[in-house]
Amino acid sequence: MKRSMNRDTLSQLGQTVAVCGWVNTRRDMGKIVFLDMRDRSGILQVVLVPSELDDAAKQIVDTIRPEFCLKLTGSVKQRDAKQINPNLETGEVELLAHEIEILNTSKTPPFDLADTSGVNEEVRLKYRYLDLRSPRMLKNLIQRDQIITFFRNYMHENGFVEIETPILMKGTPEGSREYIVPSRLHSGKFYVLPQSPQQFKQLCMVAGFERYFQIARCFRDEDQRGDRQSEFTQLDFEMSFVTQEDILQYTEAMFVEMVKKLFPEKRISTQPFTRLTYAESVADYGNDKPDLREDKNDPNELSFCWILDFPMFERDEEGNIAAMHHPFCSIKEEDKEKFMRGENVMDIRANAYDLVLNGYELSSGSIRIHEQDMQKRVFDLLNISEEEQEGRFGHMLEAFTFGAPPHGGFAPGIDRIAMLMAGEPNIREVIAFPKDGTARDLLMGAPSILPKKRLDEVHISIKKN
């Protein structure tokens, strides 16, 4: 018999069906036992009446405990009026069981699965597969899927091509520390994991795709915090023959449509989105990601804000000139002359922009450099030697000599979007298997020590302190 989801029983009144899932709760009422059975679609009440059960089922009723995985076959019945549960989607029906199959038993879980928000996070992460059974976490992950599905459909509807770019790539630092992967076949050489598909998406524009996107996995070896993880997901997209205004308008329309379609209970406080220059935001709010909500206690208020005209350069911890976003941002037209002369470098502005929501940076983007001489000039100002330019970025510089079109893009962070839409305090609550605050995977036990044989294969030796 084909399995029915619990929600399906609403339309199967009077039919014999099979349901599968987990025992959420068990209630013994004399000889009659009530099970609340849980599957992904919700809760269904199952009634175990001795006279209705076959002989095999009668033998195992007393052994059934919460979180046992069961298959139950029975008749869908209308509940009596007094027994209707308005708090359940299936509250008007119940399953009168005839057959029971224990698919697997369960130990007592280390915490109550009804609401895990107050459980110690280390314990939750160690038993993440149990934590994800809780209604809140199930809802968060399904909601995340809906967000990704919306973005993917929206991109395809607007003529974008989904292109996967490499995970193993050349080390070309763009700001953050990279994860390093040793090569077994090429002794002494290394790949890195991408901080973003930045260079590949620009090369897709050189290749002529004109509109590219992917749901991209990105990696940064940096200190953890509530809205950051060592690996994260972004909606990465790039467009050719566009201006900054084109990208802002496209992105804004996409987010408005997302809220309207997926979160109709939420209210966007200002449309069009507020726009501030970087200088205005810092002067007025003391940072570049202001929270502009009228009522910060309102979970359904969404205050989007564009931050524009970022400085092209900043000083790093050692006082050296560094790119504020990355070295591929183009220069604002009115600042190009002093840029080429190398004057007032710290006042030069980039065609770079951020989208902020309720005090969180959702995304950064820019109109890119597409001309070799302009790109080399940026590298020169960053004190990157000709030799280093060729070694790290030669492929980009050469690509720009083959008719590279004007282009720009954006990369909204899926994790932060899902966090804010779910009203959660950190992105770990909307990621299926996150790392903890020190980048450890407490479920799998990573990072871990590898046998010497494995290290020898990739030509690695461990330096002892």
CATH number at residue 254: 3.30.930.10
- Residue 55 in domain: yes
Distance set, CA 390 to CA 72, 199, 235, 387 (Å): 66, 15, 30, 5
Cβ pair 68, 106 in contact under 8 A: yes
Farthest CA pair distance, the chain: 92
Which of 193, 199, 178, 179 minimizes the C-alpha distance to 326? 199
**Is residue 232 located within the same domain as residue 93?**
no
Give the mean model confidence (pLDDT) for residues 154-182: 91
Burial class of residue 415 (count of CB atoms within 10 Å of its CB; 0-12, 13-18, 19+): buried
Identify the pLDDT of residue 419: 97
- Residue 123 in domain: no
pLDDT at 384 over 80: yes
pLDDT at 162 over 70: yes
pLDDT at 22 over 90: yes
Between CA 45 and CA 32 the distance in angstroms is 13
Give the mean model confidence (pLDDT) for residues 244-250: 98
**Is residue 241 located within the same domain as residue 306?**
yes
Strand order in the sheet with 231-240: 161-162, 211-219, 231-240, 407-410, 360-367, 352-357, 304-308, 274-277
Which of 319, 312, 303, 310 minimizes the C-alpha distance to 287? 310
Output the six-digit token pair for 246. 């084109």
**Is residue 59 located within the same domain as residue 178?**
no
Residues in a beta bridge with 409 = 238, 366
Cα dihedral: 344, 350, 356, 359 (round 10): -20
CATH number at residue 81: 2.40.50.140
Which residue range(s) make up the domain with 12? 3-104
* Residue 339, helix vs strand vs coil: helix
Highest mean pLDDT among 142-146, 310-314, 394-398: 142-146
Between CA 150 and CA 127 the distance in angstroms is 30
**Is residue 100 located within the same domain as residue 195?**
no
- Residue 451 in domain: no
**Is residue 146 located within the same domain as residue 184?**
yes
Between CA 156 and CA 431 the distance in angstroms is 25
Q: Provide CB contacts within 8 A for 15, sequence distance 6+.
A: 75, 76
- Residue 465 in domain: no
Identify the pLDDT of residue 176: 79
**Is residue 164 located within the same domain as residue 298?**
yes
Identify the pLDDT of residue 224: 67
In this structure, the number of other CB atoms found within 10 A of the CB of residue 112 comes to 11
DSSP 112: -
- Residue 436 in domain: no
- Residue 110 in domain: no
Kindly indicate the confidence band of residue 119, based on its pLDDT and cuts at 50, 70 and 90: very high
Between CA 293 and CA 269 the distance in angstroms is 7
**pLDDT tens digits, 66-93:** 999 999 999 999 999 999 999 999 999 9
- Residue 310 in domain: yes
Which of 106, 94, 104, 116 minimizes the C-alpha distance to 17? 94
**Is residue 72 located within the same domain as residue 181?**
no
**Amino acid making up residue 41:** S
Between CA 111 and CA 124 the distance in angstroms is 8
Between CA 409 and CA 237 the distance in angstroms is 6
**Is residue 97 located within the same domain as residue 26?**
yes
Residue with tokens 């007032």: 344
Between CA 271 and CA 256 the distance in angstroms is 9
Give the mean model confidence (pLDDT) for residues 59-67: 97
**Is residue 138 located within the same domain as residue 80?**
no
Count of domains forming the chain: 2
**pLDDT tens digits, 402-440:** 999 999 999 999 999 999 999 999 999 999 999 998 999
**pLDDT tens digits, 317-329:** 888 888 988 899 9
Q: Which residue has the higher pLDDT, 432 or 465?
A: 432
Give the mean model confidence (pLDDT) for residues 441-447: 97
Cis peptide upstream of residue 272 (ω within 30 degrees of 0): yes
DSSP 8: G
Between CA 344 and CA 348 the distance in angstroms is 7
Between CA 224 and CA 439 the distance in angstroms is 7
**pLDDT tens digits, 258-305:** 999 999 999 999 999 999 999 999 999 999 999 999 999 999 999 999
Cis peptide upstream of residue 299 (ω within 30 degrees of 0): no
pLDDT, mean over the chain: 95
- Residue 120 in domain: no
Identify the pLDDT of residue 344: 87
Strands 32-39 and 16-29: antiparallel
Cβ pair 322, 382 in contact under 8 A: yes
pLDDT at 226 over 80: no
Of all helices (H) and strands (E), which one includes residue 17?
Answer: strand 16-29
Output the six-digit token pair for 450. 């590898």
Between CA 410 and CA 253 the distance in angstroms is 14
Identify the pLDDT of residue 95: 98
Between CA 130 and CA 135 the distance in angstroms is 11
What burial letters (b/e) apply to 246-260, b meaning 16+ CB within 10 Å?
ebbeebbebbbebbe
pTM: 0.95
**Is residue 354 located within the same domain as residue 230?**
yes
pLDDT at 135 over 90: yes
Give the mean model confidence (pLDDT) for residues 390-409: 95
Chain-centroid distance, C-alpha 270? 25
**pLDDT tens digits, 180-206:** 999 999 999 999 999 999 999 999 999
**Is residue 272 located within the same domain as residue 162?**
yes
Of all helices (H) and strands (E), which one includes residue 394?
Answer: helix 386-399
**pLDDT tens digits, 315-364:** 888 888 889 888 999 999 999 988 888 888 899 999 999 999 999 999 99
Identify the pLDDT of residue 173: 60
Give the mean model confidence (pLDDT) for residues 6-24: 98
**Is residue 229 located within the same domain as residue 298?**
yes
